[in-house]
Amino acid sequence: MTALEIHLDDQDLARSLRTDVVTGLTATPKWLPPKWFYDARGSDLFEDITRLPEYYPTRTERAILTERAAEIARVTDAKALVELGSGSSEKTCLLLDALLAHGTLGAFTPLDVSSAALGEAVDRLTERYPGLAVRGVVGDLTRHLAHIPDGDNRMVAFLGGTIGNLVPDERAEFLSNLRAALRPGEWLLLGTDLVKDPAIVVPAYDDAAGVTADFNRNVLRVVNHRLGADFDVDAFAHVALWDAENEWIEMRLRATTAQRVHIRDLDLTVDFAAGEELRTEISAKFRREGLEAELGAARFALRHFWTDPAGLFAVSLIQA
């Protein structure tokens, strides 16, 4: 039996997908939020992305965590670990191993929107760490922070650079909600991708093998399956572009010819002009000073900022 606490059931998910699709596809320019990439196929495609030679974030973050895990355990003495947007929990094991070796950790709570991915992770971790209380929470990290379990000296890990999927206003709201869910002295371990030469960033989001293109188009398949839409997935081209002003990468899907799409369950018809683009994701890149300012505005303090030798990615240890 898997220990899962459900704050987001299939009906809530269906409702928020419908709202997002109506809002995004009737807007100018059109957009869809990146959280809808991750059905089973989308999650598998993301796993494939993490192994691409061009996609540096995952392996770079893993290297930083490998080097710093024992120090993180020493500095924090964390008794409980909560992981937001955990997905597959490969990097989590680095933290769990270090915190358990240090001797303070008693509980682990992964929170994710995908109950399937979460159930699998909880089963695997329960088996691997018999002494640890592992309990999954199915929830949306922008809405269910109040449901992270109460406890003493908790650390929340939000890794992978996923915070970059939020626009600055959403980030401010997320950080202040998270701060409100923590007591002074508790911890946030945050992974952020860093600003760098676009010649490195752009290929990470537009790989030669076309895996990211397939991942991007998957959001159309999700809308087709879940809402009975008739997107011709192959009629949309993958676009990754660096927005130098906002310092984020933007993924879009460009209609290669004029398209009329019908979304049956919403009774909605949407027209795309030839060349029209649909924004599917932003992935913001950070600088230390900017991150520190955002954290300060949410009453968090940056204690450690660890990067790899090339300065590609950062893992920050932050205190409430």
Q: Which of residues 60, 89, 115, 212 is near ligand AVJ by CB under 6 A? A: 212
Query: How many other CB atoms are found less than 10 A from the CB of residue 147?
Result: 15
92 binds ligand AVJ (CB under 6 A): no
Helix (H, G, I), strand (E, B) or coil at 181: helix
Q: Shortest approach of ligand AVJ to residue 57 CB, angstroms?
A: 6
139 binds ligand AVJ (CB under 6 A): no
Q: Whose Cβ is closer to ligand AVJ: residue 145's or residue 211's?
A: 211
Q: Shortest approach of ligand AVJ to residue 168 CB, angstroms?
A: 16
43 binds ligand AVJ (CB under 6 A): no
36 binds ligand AVJ (CB under 6 A): no
Compute, in degrees rounded to 10, the torsion defined by CA atoms 253, 255, 256, 258. 180
Q: Whose Cβ is closer to ligand AVJ: residue 45's or residue 80's?
A: 45
Candidates 11-19, 125-133, 140-148, 158-166 — which segment interacts with ligand AVJ by CB under 6 A?
158-166
In degrees and rounded to multiples of 5, residue 96 shows phi and psi of: -60, -45
| Residue 89 token pair | 């929990």
Helix (H) or strand (E) holding 173: helix 168-181
Q: What mask, x for binding ligand AVJ by CB under 6 A, covers residues 245 to 284?
A: ------------------------------------x-x-
Any binding-site annotation on 282? yes
Cα–Cα distance for residue pair 264/224, rounded to 1 Å: 9
33 binds ligand AVJ (CB under 6 A): no
Alpha-helical segments (H) within 8-140: 10-25, 40-50, 56-76, 90-102, 115-128
Please, are residues 267 and 21 in contact by the beta-carbon 8 Å criterion?
no
49 binds ligand AVJ (CB under 6 A): yes
Q: Shortest approach of ligand AVJ to residue 313 CB, angstroms?
A: 10
Any binding-site annotation on 141? yes
In degrees and rounded to multiples of 5, residue 211 shows phi and psi of: -70, -40
42 binds ligand AVJ (CB under 6 A): no
Any binding-site annotation on 177? no
Catalogue the E-assigned strands of 85-207.
Answer: 107-112, 133-134, 136-138, 154-158, 187-193
24 binds ligand AVJ (CB under 6 A): no
Identify which of 207, 196, 223 has the alpha carbon closest to the alpha carbon of residue 280: 223
| Residue 92 token pair | 């989590």
- Applying CB under 6 A, the residues found at the interface with ligand AVJ are 49, 57, 160-162, 164-165, 205, 212, 281, 283
- Which residues are annotated binding-site positions for S-adenosyl-L-methionine? 85, 91, 112, 140-141
